[in-house]
Chain A
Amino acid sequence: MNPYNYLYVAGLLFTIGAIGVVVRRNAIVVFMCIELMLNAANLTLVTFARINGTLEGQVTAFFTMVVAACEVVVGLAIIVTIYRSRRSASIDDASLLKR
């Protein structure tokens, strides 16, 4: 199977994720879209590793997964805390940093 197809899938996933981040308000959904983009990036890393026949891409993908896991923990904790204090999971409500 042509490995470039994986790249197309990755591009598609990334696009879906990016659009999701920009258009959705629910923090959980935005969060999931970020995960989607991370995984899209992982997919390209693994694909390029396959195309070039080297292992660096795959190793980096593992690093990304570890970092993503940590990010999920911290991110979810923040979202839950905001929800507890503000009774809302909409990220547009959490705009106190403006001005």
Chain B
Amino acid sequence: MVTSNSLVYLIALPLLGATILLLAGRRADKWGHILATLMSASSFAVGLYQLSAMLGRSTEERAISQKLFSWINVASFQVDAGLLLDQLSICFVLLITGVGTLIHVYSISYMAHDENRRRFFAYLNLFVAAMLLLVLGDSYLNLYVGWEGVGLASYLLIGFWNQKPAYATASKKAFVMNRIGDMGLSFAIMIAFATLGTVSFVGVKEASHNASQTALTAIGIMLLVAATGKSAQFPLQAWLGDAMAGPTPVSALIHAATMVTAGVYLIVRSNFIFDAAPTAQLLVVIVGAITLLFGALVGTAKDDIKKALAASTMSQIGYMVLGAGLGPAGYAFAIMHLLTHGFFKAGMFLGAGSVMHGMNDTVDMRKYGALRKFMPITFVTFGLGYLAIIGVPPFAGFYSKDLIIETAFNAGGAKGIILGGAALLGAAITAFYMSRVMILTFTSPQRWDEDAHPHESPILMWLPMAILAIGSVTSGFLFARGDALAHWLQPVFGEHGAEHSEEHLFSPIVVSAMALVAVAIGVAIAVIKYQLSEVAATAPENVSIFTRIARKDLLQDSFNEAVFMRPGQALTRVLVKGDDVVIDGAVRGIGRTALGAGSALRTSQTGFARSYAALILIGAIALIAGIWVVTQ
């Protein structure tokens, strides 16, 4: 493999930015945001340079690596801190730094009135550095460092406005639920080391050929747990909706475009494990299918524009996980959907931020309406993202989602029909709730509060939105044309990477037609329900039980509270009680015994010298008598 020593700059630049901004404190208030944006942009430039260098090499020599230092050096446990840039990582590097830079630019304006803007940019740079380490690490252990780093940055940014207790709680919720996933990743690493003796991607790939089925399945399941935590997949999905407490650029960058897709990266990167462990792979598609429907259903009931988009993110990542779980046929499509989703979802989140910016930070879509006239640029960019996500040709989502649906149908047998059906149903629901967002926000009659004065956002905000909208329009076509992305990624997935399944349940044209019909039905229902009929400015109360459940995120929090939180609290209470009675009881008992013995013995101290003398005498006589008895 070719080695290089310029990979480290990708990570070092944003990390340097974060360090400077965090150490310089208030002194950096004036120029901190510019420095952070420059650092992110220069990292993007390094990424572009690496891409051009990679394109200049032959297919076999495209992957390059860099050894930074020898990290752990113990007998049989050898880990180097090393970086690996291959066809898969470069996609992520460009997505992270590219979208990241655009969001930095957007945030300059969006956060202009926040007195802690410098700290915000420091955290953003920290996130970019950690995320790059995640995708560039050449072993599971290096990936783990980045994995934890993005978790930290996510926690800090969700709770950025932690003066509001609800926001601080949301960040803690995200952190705790992520920890559960992180445990999965650490278990996977431990199992990999215990059974395969190595944790590097190359080493595990080689060792997996001779490894036992049980070990590979265990590693695969643990990696899936890790992915569900970080990517908000069922059953660890509950944190993503609350994570919308963070500033909107954070939701766009971390909780839509990049960090939440880390789970998909992990599964795709570990393709050699999942290919060899069908049970784990089956679980992956099940998780993906459940989540894509779960997120879509939640999305239909949300009135908070950011939470509706968050539910949609969850659902779209469900598509990616489904794709990644379909094996060699699906990896490339999962990554393609991930990249196109990065464009259109980040663009829509920024659009939502722009709408909030013009509407006094209102997030309730029932208080919007008719914003098309007042925010034409936001309307157009958001609209292009909308067309992309629901999968209208020739926008990006059409290509990537269609390919996943098609691959799901081709999985064979009942599995294929169930998965394909779920994906198709998800597409219809996606079309419905995204149309609902679009109609409620932009095209239905206005329902504003009186003090709202909607206006278009400044250029620093709409320029990134426009660039992302261009990506939403073109990326799908560019990636799908001649299977460009699939061929590009093929070396990462091994020899059978681009091989298409031979048996076709439906031909691609039929799948596309079905998907388009599903989308049309979804859009039509939304138009009838929201465009052509009156929308209340407050959410109606007398709704069906299904709506009520969907508004409560399909009872995910109630479930977690009933199954984990309350028993946990009960256990804690029992432990506290036990500590109180047993441990503290023992300590206090010793004290009380000494005290009681003391006060009992104190009565013998009369203060009369004669009684002391008598006691001494009796004692002496008893002693002598005792000795006499014993020696007799």
Contact = CB atoms under 8 A, between A and B. Distances in A.
Interface of A: 18, 21-23, 25, 30, 91-92, 94-99
A97 to B, nearest CB: 5
A21 B620 CA distance: 15
B460 to A, nearest CB: 84
B608 A92 contact: yes
A13 B602 CA distance: 34
A68 to B, nearest CB: 17
Interface in B567-618: 602, 605-610, 613-614, 617
Contact of A98 (B605, B610, B614, B617): B605
Contacts of B610: 21-23, 25, 30, 91-92
Contact of B607 (A22, A25, A97): A97
Contacts of A97: 605, 607
What is the size category of the interface that chain B forms with chain A? 10 to 19
B618 to A, nearest CB: 10
The 10 closest A-B pairs by CB, nearest first: A98-B607, A95-B607, A22-B614, A97-B607, A21-B613, A91-B609, A95-B608, A98-B606, A18-B617, A22-B610
A25 B610 CA distance: 8
Given A91-B610, A92-B610, 11 more contacts: A21-B617, A22-B610, A23-B610, A25-B610, A30-B610, A91-B608, A91-B609, A95-B606, A95-B607, A95-B608, A99-B605
A91 B608 CA distance: 7
A98 B607 CA distance: 4
Contact of A22 (B602, B605, B606, B617): B617
B402 to A, nearest CB: 95
Nearest to B614: A22
A73 to B, nearest CB: 19
A94 B609 contact: yes
A89 to B, nearest CB: 13
Nearest to B607: A98
A88 B588 CA distance: 46
A21 B612 CA distance: 10
Contacts of A94: 609
22 contacts: A18-B617, A21-B610, A22-B610, A22-B617, A23-B610, A25-B610, A30-B609, A30-B610, A91-B608, A91-B610, A92-B608, A92-B610, A94-B609, A95-B606, A95-B608, A95-B609, A97-B605, A97-B607, A98-B605, A98-B606, A99-B602, A99-B607
Contacts of A98: 605-608
Contacts of B614: 22
A92 B614 CA distance: 14
Contact of A96 (B602, B607, B613, B617): B607
Contacts of B608: 91-92, 95, 98
B602 to A, nearest CB: 7
Contacts of B602: 99
A23 B613 CA distance: 10
Contacts of A25: 610
Contacts of B609: 30, 91, 94-95
A28 B284 CA distance: 102
A21 B617 CA distance: 10
A23 B617 CA distance: 13
A18 B617 CA distance: 8
